[in-house]
Structure 1
Amino acid sequence: MRVIKRIFLILICLVLLLVVGSYLLPGKAVVSRSVSIEAPASAIFPYVNSMQETEKWSPWLSHDPETQLSYSGPEAGVGNTLSWSSEHRQVGSGTQEIIESLPDQTVKTALDFGPRGTASALFQLAPEGDQTQVTWGFESDLGLNPMARWMGLMMDKWVGGDYERGLSNLKELVESNN
């Protein structure tokens, strides 16, 4: 009986340690990747300022070509919204709406993954001579949920590769059309 009590006590201590330790972890998950594209910002901006245009270079549609997509709002800019639905776990379901758009500079979107939470994404375009540095960033507030904070540590590993593939796709698309 003493052995069972010790094991139980050790398990409780481990759980408490994990919960308390989670509050020492970052409260936000942040992912960011950049690429230089041989084109002016004005040639790149239309591909990030329209959810319809992102379909041409999105890294997630290759995970599930059967993803159901629908659009609402204007064709581009603030209010342009994408809703998607997929059975694939890396794609899932949700909405993405452009909430800020500064021509040839910045596009900010709000993401809603339903029960998986919310996040924001940002595209920044910075001229560099004959090229443009494109930075694609993601940020999600993890709140006080201990499990979400531990999972936040893995966000860069889970999403970073997709961001790299997406930026590579965007680079190829823009440079071949420029």
Structure 2
Amino acid sequence: MLEIILIVFAMAVLIVLALASKQPNQFQVTRSASIAAPPASVFAQVNDLQNWEAWSPWAKLDPNAKNSFSGPQAGVGANMSWAGNNKVGEGSMTIVESRPYDLIRFRLDFLKPFKASSIAEFTFKADGGNTILVWSMSGKNNFIGKVMSLIMNCDKMVGGQWEQGLSAIKAIVEAGG
């Protein structure tokens, strides 16, 4: 009986490994929102990392998370580090490119619950009297990430939080914040 259990277990592991190896080497998550404000107003909410607490979906997941800031308050070199509960983890983000009213690019370094690095971007496009704000993240999908993608959908999980964040930015900016 033990032999049968071990054989079934080994086969299950091999199937999971085979399925994981077929997953993409890269991942990307993207969400967008139309905001009734000029790009400069929307850009200011994202480019100043100290504004993030007002709209970040992760600030609501752990109001007791510890955030620290270094470098300039806004623009290239601005850095925010966080340490929170198991819902927000621990890590840092640094603005590596900031083109006023057009693009902000971040390097994200996650430490907990697992180590990973990725690139996130916000783009701002004028559309009549509105701004189309696009939030995206991309990175390498290592083997652990490929296995995890078999049991959870990162796009749906993170995308839902981004939709909350974009809605919060929209509400703040459209209220004149």
TM > 0.5: yes
Which ranges of structure 1 fall in alignment gaps of 5 or more residues? none
- What is the percentage of aligned positions where both structures have the same residue? 35
Identify the residue that residue 50 of structure 2 maps to in structure 1. Answer: 52
- Whole-angstrom CA distance in 2 between matches of 1:150 and 1:16: 12
Matched position secondary structure for 1:164:
helix
* Count of residue pairs brought into register by the alignment: 173
Q: Secondary structure at the match of 2:55?
A: coil
Aligned to 1:150: 147
Q: Which amino acid aligns with 2:146?
A: R
Q: TM-score, normalised by structure 1?
A: 0.91
**Separation in 1 of the partners of 2:130 and 2:82?**
32
**Quick check: 1:82 aligned with 2:114?**
no
Match of 2:65 in 1: 67
> Partner of 1:110 in structure 2?
107
- Alpha-carbon contact 2:98-2:105 (below 8 Å) kept: yes
CA distance in 2, matches of 1:158, 1:150: 16
Q: Which amino acid aligns with 1:100?
A: E
How much does 1:131 deviate?
0.6
Deviation at 1:107, TM superposition (A): 0.4
Moved over 6 A (4+): none
1:31 counterpart (29, 32, 45): 29
Unmatched 5+ stretches in structure 2: none
From 14, 17, 20, give the equivalent of 2:15.
Answer: 17
For the 8 Å contact 1:119–1:139, the answer to whether it is kept is yes
Post-superposition offset of 1:48: 1.0
Deviations 1:45-71 (A, max 9, x none): 111112112222111111111111110
Residue 28 of structure 1: how far off its partner (Å) = 2.3
1:8 maps to which residue?
A: 6
**CA contact under 8 A between 1:30 and 1:155: conserved in structure 2?**
no
- Amino acid across the alignment from 2:127: E
**Is this contact kept in 2: 1:30–1:140, CA < 8 A?**
yes
Instruction: State the Cα RMSD in Å.
Output: 1.4
Q: Deviations 1:37-95 (Å, cap 9, x if unpaired)? A: 00110111111112112222111111111111110001111100001111x21211110
